[in-house]
Chains A and B, each alone.
Chain A
Amino acid sequence: EAGVAQSPRYKIIEKRQSVAFWCNPISGHATLYWYQQILGQGPKLLIQFQNNGVVDDSQLPKDRFSAERLKGVDSTLKIQPAKLEDSAVYLCASSLDRVSDTQYFGPGTRLTVL
């Protein structure tokens, strides 16, 4: 079974630039999560999708972050414009359905904002 795929793996941009991350979840998984993990901290949930609808985006900085999940499968997370404090690893995870189902994480995208 293929795992969660993410791209790119690494990205370096200057502040005020835009960046987009892509995630392809495990086939058949209804729930998709985007997390932000700052060095030395645990992952922080940014947004959760159930199929193509948003379940929770309470911690997403909506003035600069946006996310969509096209047709309930792939998802993109965008930052526009980026700030220095956005430097982090962005993790995508998927699970079958409920939050109690095992979350499978992708390798993450390491973003460096200069």
Chain B
Amino acid sequence: LAKTTQPISMDSYEGQEVNITCSHNNIATNDYITWYQQFPSQGPRFIIQGYKTKVTNEVASLFIPADRKSSTLSLPRVSLSDTAVYYCLVGDIMNYGGSQGNLIFGKGTKLSVKP
């Protein structure tokens, strides 16, 4: 299973762009990258998923370099409500789960947005 490494915490100010990088040096050919967001007292919520290059949706962008050994979640113009924990996960796109295929949540990155 590809292991991920993220910064434990990050601070930012309202209106800034925030980039959270995740390292996954052992990513396999069939692995995809997914980011979840978790607010206090809530379950995680899907943000974005990608395999290579760049993916953009209404809330974030995901940048994946050619070697796929890392990925960067980009949050444009953050607000106070973006204060949360962000998890990077790597998993096999063809897998139905099981002990070798399930997504593993690390400790995540705690993002604090200040006014």
Contacts and interface: CB of A to CB of B under 8 A. Distances in A.
Interface in A66-114: 91, 93, 97-100, 102-108
B44 A43 contact: yes
Contacts of B44: 43, 91, 93, 103, 105
Contacts of B87: 42
A15 to B, nearest CB: 24
Q: Chain A interface mostly helix, strand, loop or mixed? A: loop
Interface string B88-112: 0001111111110111111110000
A105 B45 contact: yes
A9 B31 CA distance: 34
B105 A99 contact: no
A56 B99 contact: yes
Nearest to A103: B46
Interface residues of B, number: 29
A86 B105 CA distance: 19
A97 B87 CA distance: 21
A33 to B, nearest CB: 8
Q: Would you list the 7 A-B pairs with minimal beta carbon distance, nearest first? A: A105-B43, A42-B105, A58-B99, A102-B46, A55-B97, A100-B93, A43-B105
Given A42-B108, A55-B98, A102-B49, 20 more contacts: A4-B43, A31-B97, A35-B105, A40-B107, A42-B105, A45-B102, A45-B103, A55-B96, A56-B97, A91-B43, A91-B44, A98-B95, A98-B97, A100-B92, A100-B93, A103-B46, A104-B46, A105-B42, A105-B44, A107-B43
Interface of B: 32, 34, 36, 41-46, 49, 85, 87, 91-99, 101-108
Interface of A: 4, 31, 35, 40-45, 48, 50, 55-56, 58, 91, 93, 97-100, 102-108
